[in-house]
Amino acid sequence: MSFEAFEPGYKIAVVGAGAVGCYYGGKLARNGGNVHFLMRSDLAAVRKQGLHIRSQDGGFHLERVNAHASTEEIGPCDLVIVALKTTSNPALDALIPPLLKENTAVLTLQNGLGNEEFLAGRFGTQRIMGGLCFVCLNRTAPGVIEHYGYGTLSIGEFGRASQERTRRIVEDFAATGITTRLVENLATERWRKLVWNVPFNGLSIAGGGITTDLILADEGLHKLTRNLMAEVMAAAGNEGHVIPHEFIEEQVRRTLKMGAYKPSSLIDYLDGREVEVESIWGEPYRRGLASGTEMGRMEALYYLLKKLTPPGMVRHR
């Protein structure tokens, strides 16, 4: 299987056209990318009114969007961007194959741990890349994405050094105005993102449906946030991914600037959708235990979230 640099105009599929998929895919499309979106509930709205990205950094409207009802309709691509919630991963067994040709690359922008391994086991390790999104986004209406801040991307190969295709994808995202960096150790970046995701996504739900500013304003929750961050960093260190202690202060400072921000897991919870409990809390907890890390606070949060967000649960506002 050959993975040489992509040719100009290479074809991109976005599987999972929610906030993340529409924002990053939309930026590529606006910059001339040949981007095709798999859409379900938003399909009719996007075909009629296009895609709206609203942002304090300068929003835009894509009047014409390559929006499709199935991956068979999209057909084989050079790059597949996976932006589905990890709770929908079983659907990828059917969704991905129609998009593949011999040298198709698959880039997952999903949260948590284990996503690259999941994809590699089904579609081949050599295809797989991972991306970490540090961004504040919400989908507020069909075909409407609100961007509140940040947006940086870290992209790397799964289990191997960067290649020509990696550099091309990084360059193409950077050309849209997104701060994008190439990383040689994707696993370390996954753990670094969990330092934020574990406490803020989890405590926003466990704290009764509260925003990040309220978590940090509460003395007890603020302390618990820092302790959870420290546990994640200890688990990462025991797997060989050293994250400096100052990273905690950096994450707290960044979060204070976000104001009353609703993490994505809280939005899923409030809207009655399944929460990505296993990829964000379950897998890091299990890996931490396996490496001999003390994971008491993580254990409590993980089991509490499983209780609060059982699979198939439907909540009503």
* Residues acting as catalytic residues: 193
Closest residue by Cα to residue 191 from 118, 298, 97, 103: 298
Secondary structure of 85-96 in HEC code, one letter for each residue: CHHHHHHHHHHC
309 CB contacts (<8 Å, ≥6 apart)? Answer: 205, 269, 274, 275, 277
Max CA separation in the chain (angstroms): 54
Distances (CA, A) of 309 to 39, 84, 87, 89, 199: 25, 18, 12, 18, 16
Closest residue by Cα to residue 252 from 280, 218, 226, 233: 226
Sole residue written with tokens 């798999």: 38
Give the whole-angstrom CA distance, residue 106 versus residue 99: 10
182 CB contacts (<8 Å, ≥6 apart)? Answer: 154, 155, 156, 162, 166, 167, 170
Q: Where are the alpha helices (DSSP H) in 97-207?
A: 115-123, 164-174, 186-206
Distances (CA, A) of 262 to 255, 277, 289: 11, 17, 29
Structure tokens at 310: 């059982």
